[in-house]
A and B are shown apart, each in its own frame.
Chain A
Amino acid sequence: MRYFRLIWANLLRAKRRTFLTVFSIAIALFLFCTLRTVITSFEASLRASEATRLVVRHGASLVFPLPLAYRERLVQVPGITGVSYGNWFGGFYQDPKNQFAQFAMDVPTMFDLFPEVLVPADQIQAFRSERTAAIIGKALAKKYGWKVGDPVPIVGTIYPGDWRFVVRGIYEGKTKDVDESSLFFHWDYLNESMPEGRKNQVGIYWIRVQSPDMAADVSRRVDAMFENSPQPTKTETEKAFQAGFISMIGNVQLLLTIIGSAIVFAIMLVTINTMMMAARERTTEIAVLKTLGYSDGLILRLVGGEALLVSLLGGILGCGLAALVFRESDFTAGGFFPNFRVLPETILAGLLLAVLMGILSGIVPAVTAARLQVASALRKVA
């Protein structure tokens, strides 16, 4: 663009104003990316779920367990190629504020059902062969400084008592969306420790089906099989199950969208104001340019281009800052968002928004400048 230098020189002339405007736009887009990332972090579990994995739980309520005996029946259902199970442990480390997910898992089957949990082979061996062993996620290990071989004491709430596990492995997720802040230990260890009345109770069964299009059919078949038993089941895809959890958080998505829109709108108003002031101050100059033979269309592009450039600079700065800050700081909001990272889609949306802000804030001053009558403009100032 030939006139880029002219636009650039105009911006540099009022350095303070350009700086302030670019930064206020950067701030708006930084916040936009942050809020948007809150939403996408909630949805990470959706992206991490496998289309062939189904969740079987008690039909009425998560607080009721299913009998261990269901396992044998599930294995025989045609179309099911793998069954694992586990219980949500619900304990905490030292203080109730230190919460992270702990699951008692059926160790022989868990790595088959959860191929996205990656552990070095020797660590899997060590984990398998020790009753009180646990594997923990990389993020969790980092947060508390735990290493392989460290003891991890956990206070149980659903399963009361002081539990002591030994870290025998640290897992990584196959993709970035896999949660790396959980602790897995032996379901058998939990079961052995339970009193007679609470033995052989399973919280959740995970089953794998041959192909995603069998999910609905297998779900129906499983639920029908247990329909008239004292413990009816509810079977759904892992994705639907996770979506249920996300919906429990409530209207967060709507609330954050409202807040985000308010922010972008507020900063846009401020930017419009600045652009109008900038153009107004330069009335004489624009009239002179026109006298020199600059066409209306060119003036329109010059003034509009200035607004667009300011917005785009702000957008790049704001979105870049968000991507950088949240990647470098391991921000988790106290463990609430285990993998808080800005997605490329979010950055793209932020940049588009910046362009939109640039167009909207530049349109009024640009049109005004293009329509300017040279004679009256020059007379007004003189």
Chain B
Amino acid sequence: MAIPLQYNIRNLFARKGSTLLTAVGIGLVSWVFIFTLALAGGFQAALQETGSHENAIVVRNGSTAELTSILPRDVAAAIESQPEIARAPDGTPLVAHELVVVWNLERKNGTSTNVVVRGVTPKSFVLHSKVRLVEGRMFRPGLEEVVVGKLANARIAHLGVGDKIKLAGHAWSVVGVFDAQGTSFDSEIWGDVELFMPVFDRPVYQSVTFRLDDPSHFAAIQKRLESDPRMSVQVKHEDDFYAAQSATLAGLLRGLGLFVTLIMALGAVFGALNTMYAAVGARTREIGTLLALGFSRGAILTSFLIESVLLATLGGLLGCLLVLPVNGITTSTTNFASFSEIAFRFQVTPMMLLSGMIFAAVMGALGGWFPSRNAARRVIVEALRQA
């Protein structure tokens, strides 16, 4: 027969101070665990979701980012004429050739940062389908006007609608703000590519993005373009291209998070061991009584183990609650592939919360195992005689 769960719950309440201290200790470990996952996850999501799987992006062979890529006009034209490219309703191919430069601008707090300035075509807004204008209006081709991503708008000085921003010696009117749903485009400034080329003195494109008429045609067009002797290019799924840029940093963040939390968990398990040993020690007579009443050693072991897991899960729950306010907080780092600032939001997912809870429960089980076994091995007579 099992010892009622009520026994454990009441015991935890009986030692309120000790329960709380241990639970908060374990909760903080879960908190750090989820916190680092949310940081790495948010950064990765910002880049990964920038690309869409139905799009392909072409850059110069050997370039891992648009910044180091060069595609002359004739190469861009040759790409545009490929048959596998989807068509807009008006029959023109869904292709955007874009220019990318990085510009040193001032943050609102006075420090300076590198911002991606992207020359785009009307088709860019079709291909990057997450981008929606949320304030002001679109720039007019041929005029010195730009639209800016919402995170750039929030963090960089002089990027409000109606402001003028100085780029390449010209003053550009900011006429609109777009929302790219947390992707890296949100940290960028967009304008007319045909105007950017002469102004920025860059007679070449950095990338060509197109929509495939059928996803299964990717391999064919990739092979044809990459083996074309007139150009030295590489073709990638757009989502893979951006995901690769996040791999190093996200991996590093996850690695650091895992390293820190695993070691920290060891410390918390030691704490839980202490608490449970003390709990077992203080209840020696109770254990003797339970044994005398006929509860099996297995039942006693299970009961103490449950108590420990319960305590830790309580802590895990606390950690989850404390980490929720972090969700959505914007922070920034540099995408070293593009050498520019990328703002992103902490992303706490239900999966992360669940992992945090499981993590806490495992800590509880580890911390409870030895003391519980110790409890179950007591000898009735000695236990009752003691104390």
Interface residues of A (CB under 8 A from B): 16-17, 20-21, 23-25, 27-28, 30-31, 34-35, 38, 59-63, 90, 96-97, 155-158, 160, 230, 234, 244, 247-252, 255, 258-259, 262-263, 265-267, 269-274, 276-277, 281, 333-334, 336
Which stretch from B15-23, B49-57, B213-221, B290-298 is at the chain A interface?
B15-23
Interface of A is mostly: helix
Q: Quick check: is B381 within 8 A (CB to CB) of the other chain?
A: no
* Bound complex: CA A3 to CA B21 (Å): 30
Give the contacting residue for A277; candidates B167, B274, B339; CB below 8 A.
B274
| CB of B311, distance to nearest CB on chain A (Å) | 11
* Bound complex: CA A252 to CA B249 (Å): 12
Taking CB atoms, residues of chain B closer than 8 Å to A90 are 68
Other than A20-B270, A250-B334, give 9 A-B pairs with Cβ distance below 8 A: A27-B264, A60-B167, A61-B114, A63-B339, A96-B64, A160-B61, A234-B104, A262-B31, A277-B278
| CB of B251, distance to nearest CB on chain A (Å) | 8
The answer to whether A97 touches B64 (Cβ under 8 A) is no
Given contacts A16-B277, A262-B31, whether A272 and B21 have CB atoms under 8 Å apart is yes
The answer to whether B267 touches A273 (Cβ under 8 A) is no
The answer to whether A270 touches B61 (Cβ under 8 A) is no
The answer to whether B274 touches A62 (Cβ under 8 A) is no
Taking CB atoms, residues of chain A closer than 8 Å to B201 are 230
Interface mask (B187-203 → A, CB under 8 Å = 1, otherwise 0) = 00000000000000100
Q: Quick check: is B11 within 8 A (CB to CB) of the other chain?
A: no
Taking CB atoms, residues of chain A closer than 8 Å to B282 are 281
The answer to whether B25 touches A267 (Cβ under 8 A) is yes
User: Nearest residue in B to A155 (C-beta to C-beta)?
Assistant: B62
Given contacts A63-B102, A333-B252, whether A157 and B62 have CB atoms under 8 Å apart is yes
The answer to whether B114 touches A62 (Cβ under 8 A) is yes
Interface of B is mostly: helix
The answer to whether A269 touches B25 (Cβ under 8 A) is yes
Given contacts A62-B102, A157-B63, whether A250 and B333 have CB atoms under 8 Å apart is yes
Sample (22) of A-B pairs whose CB atoms are under 8 Å apart: A17-B278, A20-B270, A23-B266, A23-B267, A31-B260, A34-B260, A62-B114, A156-B62, A157-B62, A160-B61, A160-B62, A230-B201, A244-B112, A250-B341, A251-B331, A263-B28, A266-B29, A266-B268, A267-B267, A270-B270, A270-B271, A281-B278
Taking CB atoms, residues of chain A closer than 8 Å to B167 are 60
Taking CB atoms, residues of chain B closer than 8 Å to A160 are 60-63, 232
The answer to whether B255 touches A333 (Cβ under 8 A) is yes
Interface residues of B (CB under 8 A from A): 17-18, 21-22, 24-29, 31-32, 35-36, 39, 60-64, 67-68, 101-104, 111-114, 167-168, 201, 232, 248, 252, 255-256, 260, 263-264, 266-268, 270-271, 273-275, 277-278, 281-282, 331-334, 339, 341
The answer to whether B274 touches A20 (Cβ under 8 A) is yes
Taking CB atoms, residues of chain A closer than 8 Å to B25 are 266-267, 269-270, 273
* Bound complex: CA A360 to CA B196 (Å): 62
* Bound complex: CA A273 to CA B367 (Å): 15
The 9 A-B residue pairs whose C-beta atoms are closest, nearest first, are A270-B271, A266-B28, A250-B333, A27-B267, A273-B21, A248-B334, A24-B267, A24-B270, A270-B25
* Bound complex: CA A25 to CA B270 (Å): 10
Taking CB atoms, residues of chain A closer than 8 Å to B104 are 59-62, 234
The answer to whether B274 touches A274 (Cβ under 8 A) is yes
User: Nearest residue in B to A63 (C-beta to C-beta)?
Assistant: B102
Taking CB atoms, residues of chain A closer than 8 Å to B22 are 269-270, 273
The answer to whether A263 touches B18 (Cβ under 8 A) is no
The answer to whether A259 touches B331 (Cβ under 8 A) is no
| CB of A254, distance to nearest CB on chain B (Å) | 8
The answer to whether A61 touches B102 (Cβ under 8 A) is yes
* Bound complex: CA A255 to CA B168 (Å): 35
| CB of A104, distance to nearest CB on chain B (Å) | 15
The answer to whether A274 touches B271 (Cβ under 8 A) is yes
The answer to whether A97 touches B271 (Cβ under 8 A) is no
Given contacts A96-B64, A155-B62, A259-B36, whether A247 and B268 have CB atoms under 8 Å apart is no
| CB of B329, distance to nearest CB on chain A (Å) | 10
Give the contacting residue for B68; candidates A24, A158, A259, A267; CB below 8 A.
A158
Give the contacting residue for B275; candidates A60, A96, A277; CB below 8 A.
A277
Taking CB atoms, residues of chain A closer than 8 Å to B26 are 266
* Bound complex: CA A34 to CA B39 (Å): 19
User: Nearest residue in B to A17 (C-beta to C-beta)?
Assistant: B274
Taking CB atoms, residues of chain A closer than 8 Å to B332 are 250-251
User: Nearest residue in A to B273 (C-beta to C-beta)?
Assistant: A20
The answer to whether B18 touches A270 (Cβ under 8 A) is no
The answer to whether A62 touches B339 (Cβ under 8 A) is yes
* Bound complex: CA A27 to CA B26 (Å): 14
